[in-house]
A and B are shown apart, each in its own frame.
Chain A
Amino acid sequence: QVQLQQSGPGLVKPSQTLSLTCAISGDSVSANSVTWDWIRQSPSRGLEWLGRTGYTSRWFSDYAEPMRGRVNINSDTTNNQVSLQLSSVTPEDTAVYYCARKNGVFSFDIWGQGIMVTVSS
């Protein structure tokens, strides 16, 4: 079955870049019918969609407007994984970060286990 395994640091200093990876098993990062999305969850903001990447004859990425300019989501076909980079972090970026598969009519049908990231000096 499809599984997403997330990895990355749980603590990031203010102004630095948060980097997380989501390893995909049981599906291909290049699959045409899905996208690979990043979502975060905090008590203040709830569940917040950050952006996505996918492949339909070419690679594309889309980002939530408030994150544009700070966020980058990439695919790695060699290792079958996607990554999230969020630059210039502040304590407001403290949250649990999830990767998830968006599968057409099913919406988010597969989720990673989540990583709690704290932004603190």
Chain B
Amino acid sequence: NAGVTQTPKFQVLKTGQSMTLQCAQDMNHNSMYWYRQDPGMGLRLIYYSASEGTTDKGEVPNGYNVSRLNKREFSLRLESAAPSQTSVYFCASSELSSSGANVLTFGAGSRLTVL
């Protein structure tokens, strides 16, 4: 009953370093997402993957890349981390309900600090 699993939970980077956040879901969902959460700003969509093999930019994609490795896994990469990327990152997945709405299931989050 894992749902959406994110790793790592915490990470500290120096400016310019790179890293990859991993996300896996075991609910056989087609769509997956990466959000960032900053104080007073709610959640903002970085990238999403509507289905295996496709990825698209969200509201705040600059400085990030993603890979939809297979149906289960969706990774987020920071090639050259900047202090502005200090945030809590959430992965989510969804499937269309019978009404046509996507209901998202979230992971527990990854707290990233860039010094």
* A and B are interacting partners: no
| B residues apposed to A, CB below 8 Å | none
On A, residues with C-beta under 8 Å from B are: none
